[in-house]
Structure 1
């Protein structure tokens, strides 16, 4: 669904009036636009910061050319384009229909008749490209729009002419790992046979709801594509031999698009005759939505004047959008449908992300601006459209690193000025995994990738190293220590913590398998000054078909590395390891802990580890035994994750609000007296300043400043954040969420 124009978006481009935004990513922005004659279009632009680069301008022009080759029957018809403009743009038809992945998500796996009709039509689309000596190179479910007249293929950001290597480098795997051909996964020439392989994978997805090589990290997927047989479980029996042949490792053994089409469908009947009712209903819904769009424009942030006249365009406090379609995991210029199916220049697949421009990136949606208060209220100092991490990722994000905070999400790390929200740098990750980056409070460290190619340019080996990121540019410095080795150890890894020039990691052992937990794992410590491994200690190994991280949170306290470890059965254990040897000092179950909720930074001092989610309690760091809990003093009360400040423990009591406890005995010192207190969300960690404690109400979408002296709510801030971090050096509270990053005063 479209959402409001930003305050500084232009009123139009060329002769086209802009109505709304459809998406914005690392490479450009896509708008809903209207022609002078009233036709509704999708208008794609390139960001000014890359528009000066010849390579990207050339890609933009080639993308428009490829879209014209496939035409309006099998793709989004190009209506107009100006790749030479100061801001290059391209206008295409606004495709009315969902992408294939969303169609399957809504309607479930398609019946065999639908899969056959879909496959035959896509064969015709690819055949038209191939006859013009163009290969797509990134065919996947999110790049296929399902319309009433047949599928339309989109995203030509990495399409190119056969044999043309000017904009790519031999040996570099370009595309989406889950749907790459084996030759493409090794950086070799991608021919029409490679598109046939990808098409077969797409049809397996349409028939089963999953790809033939599963899910997981890109390295895992690339390995399976090259060496594993496709998993066709659930594929209609009659389709198995047809798709097996198209998924042959040897390109010469695959059928052509003409041959495959003949095996799939006889060409009889209309395309709509073969679609399930649920898919047809979704097509109709999207077609009707396009006529209900009301042009809106967001107001300028408080510290910025409006830069674009907005006469006739009312400001909006927020307009939700759904079904934003992303594309281009590993693609330099991802294009996809948004809302009703439009070209979008974004990153789509979070689970199959790669390096470059932030693949897997989910563009934030607008939220409400800060409104007039009933009580004294301060506006946010700044608010930026940086999407935050998923709930299952590193709980330390946003990380504090010297005079900046580091947001790690959507396959990139971003250094942000906490005073202004300005982005200082970005660093692309190979996977959408925020455990690839850690901060020691001052510096930022990342797991970096190094590739070795043979003389022909084919990828031979991949190695992983630890490096420090430059605080000014975000660029990785020299290799400080290896993470992986020649025995296939460390091919998958998580950076748990960095303290006193020692990095603590979780590393896998052995060649990549279908699921991460089918591999043995260890915890390891690496000296970043010498590059040597201090110790490695294995985890108990029990194979499971799961990609869940082993660890939910990690913290170094004195000579202990304290870890929240999730087991195969979903239970959570608290494990303390000696930082000198890696050996387990103590290991305790966290009874009743919900692994979906307890993903918070750990709170500890020299004596105790403090836990919520039930009674508030303190565990002795010496042996893991319970020192005290609140069951006796406040029976039946439930507390959220605690925060320690100045020797006082602060937490939110469910149904009451903020409560302060002494650390030695667990006795309450004071409780909040506000009428708003019971509305505080107890599962969100509070932030503690010198004058106020800040708690969050999910119901009201407000951040409340509770006076540490008055014990009452003194200020309210409207926020769309759900996670809050104190940056004490800048005296700011950083609010993060899936939609925005914002800054509030920390007092």
Structure 2
């Protein structure tokens, strides 16, 4: 899906103005762009840091040439290019259709007629390439776009002239293991026969929804591709002999594309006649939506902006300036001023006095840009959660929700409405919370009398000002009601029915997960949750994220184990559910590492689970038995995590192969309880009482440190700050 431009994306490439990002990887970025006359194109560029390398420039030029060779009939036709520009680029037609993997996810395995038509058309595309002595080398479902007029082959980043080895280099991908030919997997020359092998793998995937050699770690896949027989179960009987011949280990026994095409399809009818109705509808939707996309550009971090927007002064009452027994305090101890304080006994008297456990702490000698004193959250079974919302960082401390300007540490608002940290969530732009109806406090309320309410929080005042949903069939008083996450205009809520209890869950209660459209307040679906053990105080959900049509959650079961559960965002149906052995619940109460293909889980070995079916894509246990990793971070198809006693490690998202490891000898002190925080040039990780910056873009060595009491860290990219929470202080450090 298109995403907004970043503040430093170029304004134009030749006559083309980028209006959105379509994707970004290790080699470059692809934009949706338009001309002044309204022509829409896909524009691919090379990362600036690679443009100075002649070998990468040569590869980029050859990719442009290969796209031209395949032509407009079978590929995205090149409309313009400037491979000699300071940032090389080329523009192609914008293809109106989903990749094959998304088409199969939407429709399920394609019918035989669709598979045959697809195969015959792709034979034509390969014949066009091979006639010019070019081999693709990376045919896979995501590189095949399905249009109403036929498939289009894209991504020629590793295509090359047959027999040409001089562009192969260490660290550059040479294919996708699940769809490689045996000779490519063994490091031998991948000829035109290798593309035929990969094409047969694509058709097996289209017919069954899985690759011919299954899923798994890269090393296992490479072995099976070379030595195991393909799994053709589920392939239509009439196609099995054809595809089996194409998947022969001996490249000299594989058929030509011309022979294969003649046996797949007779060429009758239009390509669209052979596609399922749901797929045609999706193609039509994409064709109309592309014209509704308008340019959006994320703002620069505040320190880079030419004009700083003044922040309204916090209006804090005298009552909030006082600390009381059992209350909480946030006091300015760095840049910024004022005191944030509120009491859980707000009405106990006009001038409550500070209690011995809540007197203001002395300023810590930290290296922070600013620091603020904070109290612990109201329930110590759930650690405080940090949220990034526009220019703020928010958290629940003591009995209230606070919003702090990340750039300066200025307290924007402080609430005394007794929020719970698990009942507040954000998508980065809106802050949403569960609200109790007036008079509901400590009431044994039942459904109907005290409904469940959802409201938006005003980012200037902290008040729940916009009530957008009310549900009378849930008990809004239950403390265990949970706002799981919000994304794409939808809030996901876990809520219960039955009587209130101050001793945890009741076995008599029934619990549900449901989705709410924030704009309309309409409930989209409701799904039951398993009963909770009597007296349990452990919430259902530990963390959650939405990726495409997947609601990805980590849930805690009654026996204390952690399960990864993925649901369909459209219906709430469980797509898959699997246990995560060896993981303790409290270790995964933080941001989830997930991308469009996989969920990444650390805290023991580092493993990747496919979002499509929950299968194990790879696990570091096979390459590094006994190695322990902290929670990971994934960015641009790269996974970053801290390995115990070694430090920061960088791995490919596709296969889990190590790209580089931290140098300098300080990795033995690295903390494996929190994920690393990424800045433009440095990755941040705690070691003892210091936050270290590691040069991930260059030397891979630690370069500087900051004193910190923090044990939880997040990046606030807009302000250029690392926000740290811990030791009763909230502090900010430079994010560089």
Q: Given the two structures, how large is their TM-score scaled by the length of structure 1?
A: 0.50
The 10-residue stretch of structure 1 (507-516 or 530-539) with the greater mean CA deviation from structure 2: 507-516
User: Conserved in 1, the CA contact under 8 Å of 2:551 and 2:567?
Assistant: yes
- Call closer, same or farther: CA 1:681–1:491 in 2, change over 3 Å: closer
Write the distance in 1 (CA, Å) between the matches of 2:322 and 2:535: 46
Aligned to 2:423: 436
Aligned-pair distance for 1:486? 7.2
Aligned to 1:415: 403
Aligned to 1:424: 412
User: Conserved in 2, the CA contact under 8 Å of 1:387 and 1:409?
Assistant: yes
Write the distance in 2 (CA, Å) between the matches of 1:478 and 1:88: 29
Write the distance in 2 (CA, Å) between the matches of 1:543 and 1:658: 39
Aligned to 1:381: 369
Q: 1:679 aligns with which of 669, 685, 690?
A: 669
Aligned to 2:608: 618
User: Conserved in 1, the CA contact under 8 Å of 2:388 and 2:428?
Assistant: yes
Aligned to 2:20: none
- Call closer, same or farther: CA 1:718–1:646 in 2, change over 3 Å: same
Aligned to 1:705: 693
Aligned-pair distance for 1:659? 0.6
User: Conserved in 2, the CA contact under 8 Å of 1:658 and 1:677?
Assistant: yes
Write the distance in 2 (CA, Å) between the matches of 1:741 and 1:683: 18
Q: 2:681 aligns with which of 659, 679, 691?
A: 691
Aligned-pair distance for 1:345? 3.3
Aligned to 2:549: 559
User: Conserved in 1, the CA contact under 8 Å of 2:452 and 2:475?
Assistant: no
RCO (CA 8 Å, sep 6+): is it higher in 1 or 2?
A: 1
User: Conserved in 1, the CA contact under 8 Å of 2:335 and 2:369?
Assistant: yes
User: Conserved in 1, the CA contact under 8 Å of 2:603 and 2:631?
Assistant: yes
Mark the runs of 5 or more structure 1 residues left unpaired by the alignment.
Answer: 1-46, 57-86, 90-137, 144-154, 156-298, 308-325, 337-342, 349-361, 371-378
Write the distance in 2 (CA, Å) between the matches of 1:603 and 1:363: 38
Instruction: Find the residue that maps to 1:726 and give its secondary structure.
Output: strand
Are 1:369 and 2:365 an aligned pair? yes
Are 1:345 and 2:354 an aligned pair? yes
Are 1:715 and 2:709 an aligned pair? no
Aligned to 1:499: 487
- Call closer, same or farther: CA 1:681–1:473 in 2, change over 3 Å: same
User: What does residue range 567-582 of structure 1 map to in structure 2 within 5 Å?
Assistant: 567-582=557-572
Write the distance in 1 (CA, Å) between the matches of 2:333 and 2:405: 16
Write the distance in 2 (CA, Å) between the matches of 1:334 and 1:676: 53
Q: 1:731 aligns with which of 695, 720, 730?
A: 720
- Call closer, same or farther: CA 1:385–1:300 in 2, change over 3 Å: closer
Write the distance in 1 (CA, Å) between the matches of 2:704 and 2:662: 14
Instruction: Find the residue that maps to 1:445 and give its secondary structure.
Output: strand
Aligned-pair distance for 1:434? 0.4
Write the distance in 1 (CA, Å) between the matches of 2:394 and 2:425: 9
User: Conserved in 1, the CA contact under 8 Å of 2:336 and 2:408?
Assistant: no
- Call closer, same or farther: CA 1:714–1:484 in 2, change over 3 Å: farther
Aligned to 1:524: 514
The 10-residue stretch of structure 1 (404-413 or 733-742) with the greater mean CA deviation from structure 2: 404-413
Aligned-pair distance for 1:565? 1.0
Aligned-pair distance for 1:347? 11
Are 1:598 and 2:588 an aligned pair? yes
Aligned-pair distance for 1:473? 1.4
Instruction: Find the residue that maps to 2:422 and give its secondary structure.
Output: helix
- Call closer, same or farther: CA 1:498–1:428 in 2, change over 3 Å: farther
Are 1:473 and 2:469 an aligned pair? no
Write the distance in 1 (CA, Å) between the matches of 2:399 and 2:354: 16
Are 1:662 and 2:677 an aligned pair? no
Write the distance in 2 (CA, Å) between the matches of 1:499 and 1:48: 31
Write the distance in 2 (CA, Å) between the matches of 1:537 and 1:404: 33
User: Conserved in 2, the CA contact under 8 Å of 1:367 and 1:739?
Assistant: no
- Call closer, same or farther: CA 1:346–1:505 in 2, change over 3 Å: farther
User: Conserved in 1, the CA contact under 8 Å of 2:690 and 2:707?
Assistant: yes
Instruction: Find the residue that maps to 1:636 and give its secondary structure.
Output: coil
User: Conserved in 2, the CA contact under 8 Å of 1:382 and 1:420?
Assistant: yes
Write the distance in 2 (CA, Å) between the matches of 1:746 and 1:493: 35
Write the distance in 1 (CA, Å) between the matches of 2:342 and 2:439: 28
Residues 77-103 of structure 1: CA deviation (Å, up to 9, x unaligned): xxxxxxxxxx999xxxxxxxxxxxxxx
User: Conserved in 1, the CA contact under 8 Å of 2:495 and 2:512?
Assistant: yes
Instruction: Find the residue that maps to 1:451 and give its secondary structure.
Output: coil
Aligned-pair distance for 1:48? 11
User: Conserved in 2, the CA contact under 8 Å of 1:328 and 1:347?
Assistant: no
User: Conserved in 2, the CA contact under 8 Å of 1:333 and 1:345?
Assistant: no
- Call closer, same or farther: CA 1:476–1:335 in 2, change over 3 Å: closer
Write the distance in 1 (CA, Å) between the matches of 2:551 and 2:360: 35
Write the distance in 2 (CA, Å) between the matches of 1:633 and 1:733: 33
Aligned to 2:734: 745
Aligned-pair distance for 1:50? 3.6
Aligned-pair distance for 1:474? 1.4
Aligned to 2:53: none
Structural RMSD (CA): 3.6
User: What does residue range 235-314 of structure 1 map to in structure 2 within 5 Å?
Assistant: 303=335
Aligned-pair distance for 1:661? 0.7
Write the distance in 2 (CA, Å) between the matches of 1:391 and 1:713: 34
Instruction: Find the residue that maps to 2:668 and give its secondary structure.
Output: helix
- Call closer, same or farther: CA 1:638–1:656 in 2, change over 3 Å: same
Write the distance in 2 (CA, Å) between the matches of 1:568 and 1:594: 13
- Call closer, same or farther: CA 1:479–1:335 in 2, change over 3 Å: closer
Write the distance in 1 (CA, Å) between the matches of 2:570 and 2:374: 39
Number of matched pairs: 409
Aligned-pair distance for 1:472? 1.4
Aligned-pair distance for 1:332? 2.5
- Call closer, same or farther: CA 1:420–1:486 in 2, change over 3 Å: closer
Write the distance in 1 (CA, Å) between the matches of 2:703 and 2:694: 6
Aligned-pair distance for 1:622? 0.4
Mark the runs of 5 or more structure 2 residues left unpaired by the alignment.
Answer: 1-313
Q: 1:445 aligns with which of 416, 432, 437?
A: 432
Q: Given the two structures, how large is their TM-score scaled by the length of structure 2?
A: 0.51
Write the distance in 1 (CA, Å) between the matches of 2:474 and 2:542: 28
Are 1:641 and 2:631 an aligned pair? yes
